[in-house]
């Protein structure tokens, strides 16, 4: 295999790692935000819940930013096209995401009840909406998106945004992603919280795990009826990265299962996801939140891995001009860019993992109402 093709493969895997990181870490904080109003029934409890992720939400959020940056650098055509075709959805995502940092920092700085209540609603919106959109984006990409390119590489949109927000499969994926985030957030609240937060978080997280598992199975069955995409002509993985010269692509119901039929080992990925979800529920019920948290991360790996394995090598197929579908082979950046980015990723991703774990260890331990009120910087 040529070096360029190998680099493209490595980068799609790294993109998967980033998306899993995003789901696990940002999803956890979003889950806490969504649950905030329900696990905390008075101000002290809500502050305690917030301070459980207080020292970490900012670092975690960088997974989201890094996800955007990595797509830009490694798959620039995907970045340019997907964010523009999903414009209204992306803007809604941004609106809800940018409320969150402000909510963390400002909520507890004023005592007035209206002020805090308003920010608590902001946490709910900025927790739930981005996760729904995150999942719905996957749901839409799996069904294909209506766009084509002009000769100069400018995209043109062929479908209305309403469809991207409101179609049944996308909604299913959105709710699945929301459920996974509640599961992850609940596990974290149990890990560092005490009663009554502990018990309430467990109730929500366990139900979320079961809902996620059910939705995941339904989605899996559903996908065999959805029109998938396959290259109907030979494709050169080391091709110059342009969607304009793409080989022919065919659309066929059930084509997303082709990869699983060709490599039966891939069935392990969705199975791992299911083990993660069910396992997470069981360990939370058994009072083992740390194990539950890691199994929650496993369910993200399983879910995103399943979507990736089904679509590979496609990244964002086009329903209106299938031959211009974006894939790993035609939407990536040049070998030079991928090479340099890999050097930086190999140095800094391990460094990030190391200092993030260090930060979690330093700040570890149960968060109690008394400790929250003692620190002036508490949220």
CA distance 173 to 136: 5
One-character DSSP codes across 248-294: PEEEEETGGGHHHHH-GGGGHHHHHHHHHHHHHHHHHHTT-HHHHHH
**370 belongs to the binding site for other proteins (CB under 8 A):** yes
CA distance 71 to 92: 19
Nearer CB in complex with other proteins: 140/333 = 333
**286 belongs to the binding site for other proteins (CB under 8 A):** no
- Restricting to residues 323-352, which ones interact with other proteins according to CB under 8 A? 333-334, 336-337, 340-341, 344-345, 348-349, 352
**111 belongs to the binding site for other proteins (CB under 8 A):** yes
**98 belongs to the binding site for other proteins (CB under 8 A):** yes
Nearer CB in complex with other proteins: 98/253 = 98
249 phi, psi to nearest 5 deg? -125, 135
- Restricting to residues 222-251, which ones interact with other proteins according to CB under 8 A? 240-242, 244-245
**261 belongs to the binding site for other proteins (CB under 8 A):** no
**356 belongs to the binding site for other proteins (CB under 8 A):** yes
**13 belongs to the binding site for other proteins (CB under 8 A):** no
**268 belongs to the binding site for other proteins (CB under 8 A):** no
Contact region with other proteins (CB under 8 A), list: 44-52, 177-185, 198-206, 309-317: 44-52
> Of the candidates 162, 161, 129, 149, which has an alpha carbon nearest to the alpha carbon of residue 78?
149
What x-and-dash track marks residues 47-86 binding other proteins by CB under 8 A?
x------xxxxxx-xx-xxx-xxxxxxx-xx-xxxxxx--
Nearer CB in complex with other proteins: 125/291 = 125
Q: How far is the CB of 328 from other proteins (least distance, A)?
A: 15
Per-residue burial over 27-52, b if 16 or more Cβ lie within 10 Å, else e, is bbbbbbbbbbbebbeeeebbbbbbbb
Contact region with other proteins (CB under 8 A), list: 43-51, 164-172, 190-198, 220-228: 43-51
Q: Find tokens 């670092």 and name the residue.
A: 59
Q: Find tokens 């002036």 and name the residue.
A: 376
Do 251 and 232 touch, CB atoms closer than 8 A? no
CA distance 337 to 275: 37
**372 belongs to the binding site for other proteins (CB under 8 A):** yes
218 sits in the region (left: phi over 0; alpha: psi -120 to 50; else beta) called alpha
Q: How far is the CB of 184 from other proteins (least distance, A)?
A: 18
**43 belongs to the binding site for other proteins (CB under 8 A):** yes
**Beta strands 249-253 and 227-231: pairing type?**
antiparallel
**359 belongs to the binding site for other proteins (CB under 8 A):** yes
**108 belongs to the binding site for other proteins (CB under 8 A):** yes
Q: How far is the CB of 205 from other proteins (least distance, A)?
A: 23
> Of the candidates 132, 136, 137, which has an alpha carbon nearest to the alpha carbon of residue 181?
132
**42 belongs to the binding site for other proteins (CB under 8 A):** yes
CA distance 135 to 168: 12
Do 201 and 41 touch, CB atoms closer than 8 A? no
Using CA atoms, how far residue 352 sits from 50, 56, 148, 314, 325, in Å, is: 23, 13, 38, 29, 34
Q: How far is the CB of 243 from other proteins (least distance, A)?
A: 10
Number of residues that bind other proteins (CB under 8 A): 90
To 5 degrees, how large is the angle CA 329–CA 331–CA 335?
Answer: 70
**88 belongs to the binding site for other proteins (CB under 8 A):** yes
Among 2, 3, 13, 102, binds other proteins (CB under 8 A): 102
CA distance 261 to 228: 14
DSSP 3-state of 317: coil
Q: How far is the CB of 95 from other proteins (least distance, A)?
A: 6
Q: How far is the CB of 15 from other proteins (least distance, A)?
A: 11
- Restricting to residues 132-191, which ones interact with other proteins according to CB under 8 A? 151-157, 161
Nearer CB in complex with other proteins: 110/194 = 110
**105 belongs to the binding site for other proteins (CB under 8 A):** yes
314 phi, psi to nearest 5 deg? -80, 145
Nearer CB in complex with other proteins: 161/312 = 161
């Amino acid at each position: 295999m040529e070096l360029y093709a190998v680099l493209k493969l490595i980068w799609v895997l790294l993109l998967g790692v980033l998306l899993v990181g995003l789901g696990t870490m940002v999803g956890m904080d979003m889950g806490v935000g969504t649950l905030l109003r329900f696990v905390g029934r008075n101000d002290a409890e809500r502050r305690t819940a917030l301070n459980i992720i207080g020292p970490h939400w900012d670092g975690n959020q960088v997974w989201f930013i890094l996800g955007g940056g990595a797509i830009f650098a490694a798959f620039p055509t995907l970045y340019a096209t997907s964010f523009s075709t999903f414009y209204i959805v992306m803007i809604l995502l941004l609106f809800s995401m940018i409320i969150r940092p402000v909510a963390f920092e400002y909520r507890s700085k004023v005592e007035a009840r209206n002020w805090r209540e308003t920010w608590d609603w902001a946490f709910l919106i900025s927790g739930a909406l981005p996760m729904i959109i995150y999942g719905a984006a996957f749901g839409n990409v799996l069904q294909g998106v209506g766009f084509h390119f002009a000769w100069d590489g400018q995209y043109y949109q062929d479908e209305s945004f309403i469809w991207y927000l409101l179609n049944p499969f996308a909604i299913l994926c959105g709710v699945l992603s929301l459920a996974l985030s509640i599961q992850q957030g609940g596990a974290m609240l149990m890990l560092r919280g005490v009663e009554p937060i502990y018990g309430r978080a467990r109730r929500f997280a366990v139900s979320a795990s079961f809902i996620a598992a059910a939705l995941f199975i339904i989605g899996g069955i559903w996908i065999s009826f959805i029109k998938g995409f396959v290259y109907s002509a030979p494709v050169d993985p080391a091709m110059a990265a342009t969607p304009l010269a793409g080989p022919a692509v065919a659309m066929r119901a059930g084509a997303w299962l082709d990869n699983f039929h060709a490599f039966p080992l891939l069935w392990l990925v969705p199975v791992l996801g299911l083990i993660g979800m069910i396992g997470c529920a069981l360990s939370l019920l058994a009072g083992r939140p740390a194990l539950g948290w890691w199994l929650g991360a496993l369910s993200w790996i399983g879910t995103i891995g399943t979507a990736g394995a089904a679509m590979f090598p496609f990244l964002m197929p086009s329903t209106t001009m299938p031959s211009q579908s974006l894939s790993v082979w035609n939407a990536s950046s040049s070998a030079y860019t991928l090479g340099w980015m890999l050097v930086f990723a190999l140095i800094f991703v391990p460094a990030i993992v190391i200092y993030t774990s260090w930060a979690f260890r330093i700040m570890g331990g149960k968060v109690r109402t008394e400790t929250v009120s003692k620190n002036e910087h508490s949220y």
